[in-house]
Every structure is written in C-alpha cells, then in structure tokens.
Amino acid sequence: MSGIEIRTTGYGHPDAAKLAAEVQQEYVRRYGDIDHTSMHEDHFDPPYGLFVVGYLDGGPVACGGWRVKESDADGLRDGDAELKRMYVVEHARGRGLARAVLRHLESAAVGAGRTRLVLETGTEQPEAIALYTSEGYRPITKFGYYKDSPQNVCLGKVLDA
C-alpha cells in the first residue's frame, strides 16, 4: 500500500472519468458488455455520495465511490450507501490499493451517517469478491440493474459507527 494518496475528486473529475472508462472496458472483457447501471455525477456529490481517486507518484491508479440508497422493495434500507466503480489499474494491482480505497470509503460513509455499505459485483470478478468478503461483506438480497442475472453477486456490510 506504499504511498497511495486518496483524493476526493467527484465522479466528473477527468481522472475519475478516465478510470471509470477503464473499468467499463474491464466489464466488456469479463462480461461482454459495459455496466448499464444508471450513474450520474451528482449521485456522488456530498452529502449524498463521495467519489475518490487514488494516486501513486502523482498518477491516478485507483478509484471508487459510494452513493446514498434508501429503503426499497429489493431489500435496501434507509442508511444504506452503494459502492460503485471500485477499480485499480492493472499495473498497480496486488499492492493493497483497493483495500485502502475501500476502507477510506467506509470511513467516509460512517462520517456521513451511513449505516451499511452494499454493492453489486459479479462471478467474473473473483478478486473483488475475495476482497469484499475478507473485509466482512456478506451476501444480501440481490438488488439493482443486474439483480436477475445469474452472474450478479450482491454483498453488504454493516458499518461500525
């Protein structure tokens, strides 16, 4: 985890946009298509969300964010925040950067009064599933755009205040 600097950038920042475009290409490689989940810059504007970029040696190498979710028919609850666009560029993987970003986002979510983080990932992202489960995320009721896909994996973690 040497030397990562995590900056709040917002989802519309050029570095965030660059990394979000790269993660979309990762989805194409793994699933055959981009993620069609509705995403807008303002979803990640405080106090309703947060988007960060991690930098190594001044270059953007990791990103992630959360956005507020409220109770719905899919089992989401008031106080939930959804993790989105967690990504580390290929050449920087294996250094604990995703874990650093995740823990930063969890801490910020607690600070914003969120009580649980939830996320969608997929069966073609075993390293993501391993990261989340190692950090205490457990299966929850499927939600979101891909809830009916057999490849969809939904996880959640109650946050400690």
45-87 per-position pLDDT tens digit? 999 999 999 999 999 999 999 999 989 988 999 999 999 999 9
Residue 127 phi, psi dihedral angles, 5° rounding: -70, -35
At 9 the three-state DSSP class reads: coil
Per the DSSP assignment, residues forming a β-bridge with 116 are 80, 158
pLDDT at 70: 87
Residue 161 has pLDDT above 90, yes or no: no
Contact 50, 83 (CB under 8 A): no
Residue 1 has pLDDT above 60, yes or no: no
Burial letters for 113-133: b for 16+ Cβ neighbours within 10 Å, e otherwise? Answer: ebebbbbbbbeebeebbebbe
Residue 42 phi, psi dihedral angles, 5° rounding: -70, -15
The DSSP element (H or E) to which 128 belongs, if any, is helix 126-134
At 25 the three-state DSSP class reads: helix
At 97 the three-state DSSP class reads: helix
pLDDT band at 3 (very low <50, low <70, confident <90, very high): confident
**73 CB-near residues (< 8 Å, 6+ apart):** none
**Residue whose pair of structure tokens reads 């580390």 in the numeric block:** 88
pLDDT at 2: 58
- CATH, domain range 5-118: 3.40.630.30
What six digits make up the tokens of 14?
């050029």
pLDDT digits (tens, 9 = 90+) for 84-143: 999 999 999 999 999 999 999 999 999 999 999 999 999 999 999 999 999 999 999 999
Domain ranges for the chain, please list them. Answer: 5-118
What six digits make up the tokens of 119?
């996320």
Please state whether beta strands 116-122 and 80-88 pair in parallel, antiparallel, or not at all (unpaired). Answer: parallel
pLDDT at 81: 97
Q: What is the largest CA-CA distance in the chain?
A: 44
